[in-house]
Amino acid sequence: MNKLIIKAYIFPLAFVLLFTLTGCAGGIPNDVHTPEDVANRTIGVLSGTPAVRLADDVGTAVSFDVPEAMLSALIAGHIDCIIMEGTTAEALIAGTSGARILQDPILEYELRIAVPRENTRLLDAINAALEELDNNGILRNLYNKYFARGRFEYEPPASAGTRPGNLVVALPPDSPPLSFMGDDGRFVGMDVEVAIAVADILGVSLGVLEHDAVDLISSILHGRADFAMGWPHGDAEDFVHTSEPYAIVRLVVIVRR
């Protein structure tokens, strides 16, 4: 049976102020005390974020466009809990006494880049590029763009495309928000932009190989791609090396106090 995803619009200002500023839960009890308690609940999520899919898998997702309206719905008892990205969740509940974040995340994993085990030179170059992207804030901005609906437009550095050479990255076409096909038929997503940014720092051009997500490693082992995105640490370590993480995805649960 398909789960119901409800589109919630902006609540009246008085409603938002009543619950977000006062934090008054009206004595409505909280029945969600651990991430396991989320199962079969009505779960608030921000539309267009990965939390939608997770919430729909474990319960009934209620999609909101406005974070404050979602928090108000939680405190008022219209939804049982909220699933959202950790940093954004902390900012959302700051200043309210009506909600808290469960100590344990409901989902947490690292995103890394996989390269052939014998190509340590490429691994070192990718790690150096990721360090630069981390230091200048691009990795964080790209993460916020795709996991927390932030606003960011990547600007290539002057060194982009100034060196001879080409790298090919393997990407699946159906793994939003990491990599998927846009309306114009081109790859978009966080992994796509991180791969572009890495190639830009290395000064080379980038090609994309469309490949099934469950078998990305074969594209590397057979030499069709130079690297693959979104690889978990330690997976297939006999065949590939993985870079330093370029993102740590952490989804948390917000509940009423």
Q: What is the pLDDT of residue 15?
A: 44
Q: What is the pLDDT of residue 199?
A: 97
CB of 33 within 8 A of CB of 104?
no
pLDDT higher than threshold 60 for residue 141 = yes
User: Residue 30 and residue 102: Cα distance in Å, rounded?
Assistant: 12
pLDDT higher than threshold 60 for residue 11 = no
User: Residue 123 and residue 33: Cα distance in Å, rounded?
Assistant: 42
Q: What Å distances lie between residue 239 and 73, 195, 220, 225, CA to CA?
A: 48, 21, 9, 14
| Each residue's pLDDT tens digit, 123-140 | 999 999 999 999 999 999
| Each residue's pLDDT tens digit, 53-80 | 899 999 999 999 999 999 999 999 999 9
User: How would you class 31 by CB atoms within 10 Å of its CB: exposed for 0-12, middle for 13-18, buried for 19 or more?
Assistant: exposed
CA angle, 78 then 82 then 84, to 5°: 150
Q: Whole-model pTM?
A: 0.77
Q: What is the pLDDT of residue 7?
A: 39
Strands (E) in the chain, as ranges, are 6-8, 42-46, 60-64, 81-85, 99-101, 107-116, 166-171, 174-175, 179-181, 187-188, 205-210, 227-231, 240-242, 247-256
Average per-residue pLDDT for the chain: 87
Q: What Å distances lie between residue 81 and 112, 148, 211, 222, 248, CA to CA?
A: 30, 17, 36, 46, 23
Q: What is the pLDDT of residue 239?
A: 82
| Each residue's pLDDT tens digit, 150-190 | 899 999 998 887 888 899 999 999 888 999 999 998 999 99
Q: Which residues pair with 63 in a beta bridge?
A: 7, 45
Rg (CA), the chain: 21
CB of 59 within 8 A of CB of 38?
yes
User: Residue 133 and residue 156: Cα distance in Å, rounded?
Assistant: 11
pLDDT higher than threshold 70 for residue 33 = yes
User: Residue 224 and residue 220: Cα distance in Å, rounded?
Assistant: 6
